[in-house]
Each structure stands twice: as C-alpha cells, then as structure tokens.
Chain A
C-alpha cells in the first residue's frame, strides 16, 4: 500500500518530467486491495506448498499446552486432537492492542483489518505513534485520504527522536494532521456504512482539555500484545513477563523450560522484525537438529519505517548513544540532502537527512546510522553489512561514492553537529 501511495507521488512528479498526466488522478481502493490480497493469497499457498514439500504436517488448529510435552489442538469446528513432541517452539507472535474504551472493539479497526478492508476507509483517525501508525497514516494520506494521527506521547518510541520528528514533519508536509498529547476516551457510531461515520472524544494527557472529531474510520495502532496468554504456558511453567506478555529466552532461544524455545515477536528483548525471526528460527533448527552451533546475531539489526519519506536506521539512536558512550566520546556527522530526482520534480531541497554517529573509542567506529530519504531500506541494508564488518569513519571517507545516488552522501559527510555549522545542501 506504501508502494501504491509512492506511485501516486510519482504521477505528480511525472508531469514535471514531461509526462502528460492529468492533474487530478483518483485512486480506487478496491482495485488496490484486490491486487494485494491476490498476492497475499499466493504467499499463503506457497507457504503451504513449502511445508508439504518438506513433509511438515500442517495443522490448522489452535494449540495450547495441557501438560509437559503435550498440546491440545482445537480446529475451527471444535474438534480436539492431541500432539506430543520432544521439543516445542513458540512462535505465536502478536496481535494489535485495543484501547479498552467504549466503542473500540465495535467500531475501530486495526492493521489486521486494514489490508483487506473491502471499502475505502475515507477520512481516518489513526491512533498511536508507532511505526505501524505512521506507516498506515502515511500511505492513506498518499492515496488521497484525509488523515489525522493522534499520539498520546512520543512518536516512534525507541527510535532516534530527532529522526522521528523529521518523519512527522515530512508527513505534515503531505497534509497529515497530528494531534499530539491526546488519547481517545470514547468512540461513538453516528452512521452505519462502508465506511460509516464515527465520533471520537479525546482527552489531553497534560490537562483537562477535551476534543471531538468526526471520522469515517478509526484505526488503532497503539501497540501489539503477545499471544502468550491462552496457550497453557502456565501449565508447564514457562516464565512469561507479566507486564509485556513476552517470553524471556537465553542466547539460544531457550525459555525457562529447557525443551520449550521461542522465536519472533513473542520473545522478550529482541527486535520485532521478520528477518530477525526468520534468522532466529533457522539457526535454532540447525542447532537443535543439524549439529550446528551458530547463534543468532541480533546486534545492529537494521530496520526501516516505510513512511512516505522512508527512515532507515542501524545501530544506536543518538540519545541512546549519548547515554551509553557519553557525549564527549561521540562525534555526529550530518547533512541534509536533495535527491537528484527531486530537483526537476520541484520537491524540497532540505527535507532528506543523513546522520552517522561515531564512537571515538575504537578508531571512530560507526555505531549509529540514520537516513531519511527515498529508498531508505535499499540504502540501509549495505551499511548494516558494513557495520557488521566494523565500519569506521576512515573507511567511510576512503570509500568512493556512487554518483548520482542518495546513498553516496554518506561518503562525503563533513559537517559535525558539534561544529554548529549549517548542514543545508548547496551545489552538485
């Protein structure tokens, strides 16, 4: 859906590049979701095929522990089957959290619903400041919908806050409205429909102010809860963090019960990322049955927030780096940059931003990489590999840039934050 939104932007750009595209292009939600769901369906089938090919029995049932080494599997019709195994892996992931206010479950949707929504959501209130919230708000706005984001406290908690604010700012430039420091207290349905009309009452988190708003859709993106509550873990004594619902594991993915392992979003203290889960799962299988020793390396797992202007990062957020290393032991190089493709498209020259954090210990090793710009994921991946190899400032300066790209801007970073010099872009 992010791609669909980016293509909308491309249509606007294309006119500047000589394409005789009509000014007001409309978007059809149903065409898009149908195409997307078709692909998702093919992925479902390919996973089933892959399991079959590897002779893995696939059971479409709800599993829960009943005693040590034994689970009960209940299918959609209520039929129960029991399975025993020497080893178990819990990879039940998470589901979106609800607010726990009046009208939330009845009238609000979540990311679980959005991608197969059979009708256009219309004017949408996105509740939350997570990457899910911002990504959804971003593409909905890019598809031409009126979008408001209501955040109770921080945006992109856990991420570099300077970058988070820049992300928000770039979204504001696209017309997304932010309501900061508010939280919904009630959702009422004014009109039924696809979409209908909803009234949201919200309260300020800092005072007594109350506001109201009318929306077609309310999308809750306030966080995700681990699916560890109703799978019988307490029956076998698997320790679960009461507060977060996540399962603490050791460095070989083992829970407090030796024959029970956990991978993916359900694991405590690991990044909630698909490639992390895949890597952890694969390596776990190899250790359990393949005689291999390799452990999953979670350090410097890169990630990207696919907001309209993408944000890629690897390593420390600046504030975290300051906390761990102390400011005087760090150097931060930064610059604004103007992608060449944005010049003719007449897009702003001082929105995209690149930042590198070096630790003065260890030969100026790169400990934080941040980029706000197009194709941030494609850019960040290679840098993550370089950081894995111990990237330093010297090596960065010695590497020749590929011209013209956005990524090359990292090979010519000259301005430090400590110098106080202007980081705006001028010239080729």
Chain B
C-alpha cells in the first residue's frame, strides 16, 4: 500500500529502464515523485509489476531519472502534491459534464478536465464541448437566421410592407458567439454549484488510475481517480490527399466563429454537417456549392436524403454530385481556386471561392490521450474507444461515452443520458443500461428532416420486402400557400410491419419544424406504436404533424400519395 506523506520502500528491485540506465535508492521524498505505470507480468506469470520512473511524468520527453518496480496495485491514497478523486472525467462536453454533475450530485468527489486544442485556423472555445461551441447550438441559431430570411420573404405576401433585406454576418456571428459564451459560463457555474472541480488542462494517461494534465502555460498536474470517464469527443477530419488542406480550408470548428462572412463557399462533404452548413449559408444569401463524392447522408434513408438535397438544389445551393476535389490553390487576390474531378466522366473542372469548408467526417479525439499507458483499447480502423454495454473500456474502471466511444450515435442527448446513467451505476444507484435503439434525430437542412427508427432499406433488409408496409404522403404546409412556396419535397413516410397491428419500425418526416414533429412520435415508437394506434390518434388541425396521423396510402398500392383538400 502506498501511504500518504513519507514513504520508505522497504524492498526495491533495481531494473534496467528502457533507456539503459540503472539506479537504486532506499527512500525518496514523495513530493518529487511522478509515475508512469506499465504493467509487466512477473517471470512466473503469477503477478504483475508496475514500472515507475521518478521525475516528471515524461510528457515533455525528458528521460527518467530513477526507476521503481513495485507490485501492481490500485492507488488508494496519494502522497501530498497529487489530487485524488472518486471520478475523473476527461472532456467537458455533453457527455462528460452530464456524468460529472450527476456523480457529484450523488455525493462523489468529481473532477472534470477539459481542453480545446485550437483548430488549425486557431479557433478555440470554452467549456461545453462540441454541441455548445461548434455544433448543435450555433448551427441551429445560424439555421434559424437563414429561416428568418425566408420568413421575411413570406411576410410580404401576408401583407407586411417589407423589402428583402441584406444580411450582416458579423452581427449574427456576434450574437451567436455571445450566446455560446454565456453557455460556457453557465456550465462553469453549474460545475461550481455542484462542487465539481474543473481543470482547463490537456489530459493524457500516466497509468490506469492517473492522468497528467497540462495547462496552457505548460504546468503539469497529476490527477488520480478510482474511476475515469473518457468523453473527449471528436474533431473534424481534414483531407489527407490535398496539399495545404489545413491551411486553405476551414471546418465546422471555424465557421461558427468567423467574424466576417465566409463569402462564396465550397462545402466538401455529404454529411449532415456539410448539408446543414451549406443550407444556412445559402439561406443567408451566400453563393454556396456542395461537393459530394457519392451519396448524401449515407447513414440515413436514401429516399429522404435525395429529397433533402433536391430541395436544396431547387432553392439555390449548387450541388456537385460524384465529384471530388484534387487541389486547392491560393490566388493572388487571396481567393481559393479549387480543382476537382467528376468521377464518372473523369473530367476536371475548377472554381474560385472565398472559403472552402471541409465537412468530410470527424475523427475521435483519442490520439493525445496516451491510452496505451492505461491499457485502453481502440478500434484500429475508427480510432474510437471500444466499450461494452456498461460503457466500460478494456480497463474495468475506465469508461468512455459520447462521440469518442465506438458504435454510439454521435448525438448530444445520447451522450448526456449515457453520462447520467453511468454516474448512477458507478454510485450504485441504478443498474439501468443505456438503450440506443430508436434514437430520434433531425437534420436541420433548409427543409428539415426528422427521423426515428429504421430507414426503409434497413427495414426491408431486416424483414424482407413482403413483410414491410410503407405508408407515405406528399403534403403542403398551410403556411406555404399564401407565399406560394414550393412544397414538392414536403413528404412523410412511415415504415411498418405488414402484419397487423402493423408495428411502426420507422418514421421519416421532411418539412418545417421536423424536430418538434418527430419528438412525440419517437415516444410513440418507444411505446410500441402501431399503424393502428397512429391512425386512431386525432389530428391537430391545422398542422404539418397531423399529416402523420392521416397517412393512408401505401407504396404498395401504387396510388398517388399527394394529400388533397383541406
């Protein structure tokens, strides 16, 4: 057992370190100890030893001065100069904060370590993670700004005497950024209120129970804990085959923090990030192009995905399908010239843009964590941390939640719930596991797409076409009538089992306020809703959502699914 204060190891074994130096010492002042644990099995295989080096924790590359080999065991107490917690959370985003706050509320001693590595552009932000700073929140606000532009246009049809105004990016950005900063502050206050210790340190593992945190100024602090939760999330991926991609292009990490308008923008990618960004940029009046290599919204229902992009194309976003960028060059006037190839025809083309936004996916933030020092395993392809149903990693007391965990939806509410349930389990308050089935989501493109459950293709793959019934409808929101808005892509699809009572397997809604519409139906699906249930539900009139309750035409019937009448 380690004791607190002066420790005099009664027995020491000298060992040759990896660097070739050997040293022995009978006793050491505890304050100058740093530890770097590597489990080493003993020669007879019955136990394992932990290798420690004395000095600093080696993060800055200096060589160990002394070596100690001791029987591997848990660290119950720490000598002075170190901090010990019940729970240490690495990552102050949606999942990390939820977990930390819940555990603290249940009486545990908790610390959160959060650090934002600036983007290649130099963008940095405060506490709260991706969602608050460079995700859901600023995205939805800019989406709202774009929608308001459309509403101003509608307003004139409804009698308001207004000309179509110009948009001031700087004013919007400032307002959005101010709100985000207020949320950063709110999170700090919440942590303080719940007595969660917060460190703005870049963390990496020293050993399975110890993390070294480095501040912006380079100071190191060691933190140890009984349980550690990794919730470091992810960051946008840059294309590796394009020279100067980091220098010339920005990502979602940067777009929400730009002080000036991005101007004419090329968005490269087919993810919801790409389409949402391209969508609001178009709505704000900017010349926007999206370059998609193969299919848009790959993980989503493909019929819905193509309606989403069709709507965007009709409403001013230029969509280049089947193209991929080859080169980005900076012109003398500061603009960017992009060369790309059409993969089908092999024809090359160029375009000039003010901004190139890479939205080609995200990589988990696991690289700088020194996971191998803790023995935490990752998926070699995705780099995400492997977890079981308890969110536990390959090391029993280390967990991972949120975007960094393998096989989890990359969504804020799932990270939050996983974090909370994990905290409850760690505090032995509950044994409830997270249910990742039927998680609803919404893509906030100009015409929003809300969905829950299986896509049509997934349902058919799982059950066979004969056993699946799809009810669908093209409808027109009442609000679209007066301003004569095109409603061609306003569409709903309910995928059910064909066998009565026709259990609902998936619901897909494309239209205004898709998130608000979908939430309640997601609950219905959680309750085991069937087509019969939904049809017996009285509609609320006039809304778009009632069209879900009015679905009558099946794809199989071949009848025209366009809603007519009132």
Contact = CB atoms under 8 A, between A and B. Distances in A.
Query: Real complex partners, A and B?
Result: yes
Interface of A: 3-4, 7-8, 10-11, 13-14, 16-22, 25-32, 35-36, 39, 43, 46-47, 50, 143, 271, 273-276, 278-279, 297-298, 300-304, 312, 340-341, 343-344, 375, 377-386, 388-392, 395-396, 398-408, 410-411, 426-428
Given A13-B148, A50-B564, A302-B537, 4 more contacts: A11-B152, A275-B546, A378-B517, A400-B417
A18 B520 contact: no
Interface stretch (B42-50, B196-204, B527-535): B527-535
Nearest to A4: B158
Nearest to B146: A17
A302 B538 contact: yes
A354 to B, nearest CB: 12
A310 B411 CA distance: 29
A251 to B, nearest CB: 14
A298 B537 CA distance: 9
Contacts of B282: none
Contact of A18 (B137, B175, B411): B175
B566 A386 contact: no
B533 to A, nearest CB: 5
B145 A17 contact: yes
A21 B158 contact: no
A405 B520 CA distance: 12
Given A31-B159, A378-B545, A406-B516, A386 B521 contact: yes
Contacts of B435: 398
A428 B522 contact: no
A274 B541 contact: yes
Contacts of A391: 523-524, 527
Contacts of B429: none
A10 B155 contact: yes
A219 B170 CA distance: 45
Interface string B161-177: 11001111111110110
B289 interface: no
B439 interface: yes
A301 B537 CA distance: 7
B179 interface: yes
Interface in B486-537: 513, 515-524, 526-530, 533-534, 536-537
Interface centre among B175, B411, B527 (most CB of A within 10 A): B527
Interface in B181-209: 183, 186-187, 190
Contacts, number: 292
B427 interface: no
A29 B160 CA distance: 9
B543 A18 contact: no
A390 B527 CA distance: 7
B482 A35 contact: yes
Contact of B523 (A10, A16, A27, A396): A396
Contacts of A27: 159-161
Interface of B: 128, 131-132, 136-137, 140-141, 144-145, 148-149, 151-152, 154-155, 157-162, 165-173, 175-176, 179, 183, 186-187, 190, 284, 411-414, 417, 435, 439-442, 450, 478-479, 481-482, 513, 515-524, 526-530, 533-534, 536-546, 548-549, 564-566
Contacts of A25: 155, 160-162
A411 B145 CA distance: 26
Contacts of B168: 18-20
4 nearest A-B residue pairs (beta carbon): A382-B520, A18-B172, A381-B545, A32-B159
Contacts of A408: 413, 515, 519
Given A39-B482, A402-B440, A404-B136, A275 B162 contact: no
9 contacts: A10-B152, A47-B566, A275-B546, A297-B536, A377-B545, A385-B529, A402-B522, A410-B519, A411-B413
A43 B442 CA distance: 32
Nearest to B482: A35
Nearest to A343: B179
Contacts of B176: 344
Contact of B519 (A7, A17, A407): A407
Contact of A382 (B136, B522, B528): B522
B520 A407 contact: yes
Given A10-B148, A382-B548, A400-B417, A426 B186 contact: yes
A388 B137 contact: no
Contact of A20 (B167, B173, B519, B521): B167
Nearest to A29: B159
Interface centre among B187, B481, B482 (most CB of A within 10 A): B482
Contacts of A30: 159
B405 to A, nearest CB: 15
Contact of A404 (B140, B187, B439, B545): B140
A144 to B, nearest CB: 10
